[in-house]
């Protein structure tokens, strides 16, 4: 969408900042430079392998120093002012910048970086690798509070464009194996900033969840996503359907609130979406989130996770998929992951998925 302009600059410590201007923006093209004096960026963290599972754990101690629920006048994601030298030096519509306290990066290459997925798949005691990669913050709005649901249609479309732009750019960087855009919303999820924003992680490995998915595709066959969508579109769990996307409560939902969304054709990630698909997605995603908030009449905590195909494997079989999950099982009750779920990964659902789909459909209509 050519009308959404991108403007790239650098922050005072060398981190990249990209402005995305709405198609109907009122902002001019110029932006102030970052005038702060900043400490050097933290060293890139180290990953350690769990020999019991083969999973890799990034030990990122610099994250201990990140900002925790600051007042509005000290919002680090608001446009900078004389009394608030924030991360974004000027006014903006949507802004994306490298995280100051990343779990992966800032290095993309290193002598102890992973040597591909085969290297990471080997198992041994005391194995470490550098946590190369990149972590970015996506600011949906200059406002201090809110979420994607509160955005205008034009702004929502700008955010979708930013996700597509960053997916393509990050996927092309050396050492990146998977790109994951997501939004955490609400203190019950662990959010440390009220500002409407999301994040993007560019991992140096294929994540455990996607590795399990690849095994399922190998077992079931390459039509897994097409067959899943066909099965759901004719069933009772669909909550919202459009020309290009369908949203549904999954058959084996784990969470009290869980919604999946799939494109009707195979597309591996945001970068592969057409303009028409991006237009519809901006509208449908906003409607889904407003429906989630309408379930109980006030903002619902959630994790909104955009699952994308890995960069180098599964491109023809893994389809872009949104998964919205929330621990809210009643107006004043949350589901906590206790012994069975947290320790054994054996889930027990609290609500019947078909009944929950009815409630979510009604909430979407009300919203």
- The pLDDT score that the predictor gives to residue 202 is 98
Cβ-proximal residues to 192 (8 Å cutoff; 6+ apart), any chain: 66, 67, 68, 69
Q: How far, in Å, CA of 225 to CA of 349, rounded? A: 23
Is the same domain home to 43 and 157? yes
**Overall average pLDDT of the 266-275 stretch:** 98
Q: How far, in Å, CA of 224 to CA of 2, rounded? A: 35
Is the same domain home to 144 and 107? yes
The pLDDT of residue 221 is above 60: yes
pLDDT tens per residue, range 240-258: 999 999 999 999 999 999 9
Q: How far, in Å, CA of 3 to CA of 103, rounded? A: 33
Report pTM: 0.95
- Check if 244 is active-site: no
Q: CATH code at 318? A: 3.30.428.10
- The pLDDT score that the predictor gives to residue 330 is 86
The pLDDT of residue 65 is above 70: no
The pLDDT of residue 49 is above 70: yes
Is the same domain home to 200 and 214? no
63 confidence band (pLDDT: 50, 70, 90): low
The residue among 167, 15, 29, 183 whose CA lies nearest residue 106 is 15
Which residues span the domain enclosing 178? 5-204
Least confident of 31-35, 295-299, 320-324: 295-299
Is the same domain home to 196 and 308? no
Is the same domain home to 184 and 250? no
Cβ-proximal residues to 268 (8 Å cutoff; 6+ apart), any chain: 308, 309, 314, 315, 316, 318, 319, 320
Average pLDDT of the chain, as a whole number? 94
Continuous segment of H or E residues that includes residue 183? strand 178-185
Is the same domain home to 196 and 223? no
The domain boundary, picked from 158, 180, 204, lies at 204
The residue among 157, 159, 169 whose CA lies nearest residue 196 is 159
Instruction: Tell me the sheet residues that pair with 258.
Output: 325
116 confidence band (pLDDT: 50, 70, 90): confident
The domain boundary, picked from 204, 227, 258, lies at 204
- Percentage, residues of the chain above pLDDT 70: 98
Is the same domain home to 25 and 167? yes
- The pLDDT score that the predictor gives to residue 1 is 47
Is the same domain home to 88 and 191? yes
> Over the Cα atoms of the chain, what is R_g?
20
Is the same domain home to 199 and 215? no
The domain boundary, picked from 159, 174, 204, lies at 204
Is the same domain home to 241 and 119? no
333 confidence band (pLDDT: 50, 70, 90): confident
Among the options 144, 165, 194, 197, which is catalytic? 197
Is the same domain home to 192 and 105? yes
Least confident of 1-5, 14-18, 135-139: 1-5
Q: How far, in Å, CA of 36 to CA of 153, rounded? A: 34
**Overall average pLDDT of the 227-237 stretch:** 96
Q: 65-71 contacts: CB < 8 A, separation 24 or more?
A: 65/101, 66/100, 66/101, 66/192, 67/192, 67/193, 68/192, 69/187, 69/192, 69/193, 69/194, 70/193
Cβ-proximal residues to 157 (8 Å cutoff; 6+ apart), any chain: 1, 4, 22, 23, 278, 279, 282
**Overall average pLDDT of the 316-322 stretch:** 98
pLDDT tens per residue, range 280-309: 999 999 999 999 999 998 899 999 999 999
Strand 46-49 and strand 16-21: pairing?
A: unpaired
- The pLDDT score that the predictor gives to residue 314 is 97
Is the same domain home to 159 and 260? no
pLDDT tens per residue, range 135-177: 999 999 999 988 899 999 999 999 999 999 999 999 999 999 9
Residue with tokens 């597309």: 267
- The pLDDT score that the predictor gives to residue 274 is 98
Total structural domains in the chain? 2
């Amino acid at each position: 969408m050519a009308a959404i302009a991108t403007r790239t600059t650098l922050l005072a410590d060398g981190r990249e900042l990209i402005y995305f201007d709405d198609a109907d923006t009122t902002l001019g093209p110029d932006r102030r430079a970052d005038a702060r004096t900043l400490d050097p960026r933290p060293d890139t963290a180290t990953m350690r392998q769990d020999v019991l599972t083969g999973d890799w754990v990034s030990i990122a101690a610099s994250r201990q120093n990140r900002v925790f629920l600051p007042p509005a006048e000290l919002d680090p994601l608001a446009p900078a002012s004389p009394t608030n030298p924030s991360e974004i030096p000027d006014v903006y519509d949507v802004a994306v910048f490298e995280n100051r306290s990343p779990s992966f990066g800032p290095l993309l290459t290193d002598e102890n970086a992973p040597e591909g997925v085969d290297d990471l798949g080997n198992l041994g005691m005391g194995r470490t690798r550098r946590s190369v990669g990149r972590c970015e913050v996506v600011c949906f709005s200059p406002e201090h509070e809110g979420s994607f649901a509160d955005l205008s249609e034009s702004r929502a479309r700008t955010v979708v464009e930013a996700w597509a732009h960053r997916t393509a750019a990050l996927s092309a960087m050396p050492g990146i194996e998977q790109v994951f855009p997501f939004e955490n919303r609400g203190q019950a999820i662990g959010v440390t900033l009220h500002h409407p924003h999301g994040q993007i992680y560019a991992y140096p490995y294929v994540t455990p969840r996607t590795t399990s998915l690849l095994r399922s595709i190998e077992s079931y066959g390459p039509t897994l996503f097409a067959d899943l969508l066909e099965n759901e579109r004719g069933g009772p769990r669909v909550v919202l359907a459009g020309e290009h996307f369908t949203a549904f409560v999954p058959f084996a939902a784990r969470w009290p609130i869980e919604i999946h969304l799939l494109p009707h054709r195979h597309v591996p990630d945001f970068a592969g979406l057409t303009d028409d698909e991006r237009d519809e997605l901006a509208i449908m995603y906003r409607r889904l989130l407003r429906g989630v908030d309408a379930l109980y009449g006030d903002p619902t905590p959630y994790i909104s996770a955009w699952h994308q195909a890995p960069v180098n494997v599964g491109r023809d079989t893994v389809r872009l998929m949104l998964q919205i999950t929330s621990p809210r099982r009643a107006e004043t009750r949350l589901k906590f992951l206790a012994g069975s779920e947290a320790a054994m990964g054996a889930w027990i659902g609290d609500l019947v998925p078909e009944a929950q789909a009815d409630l979510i459909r009604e909430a979407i209509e009300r919203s």
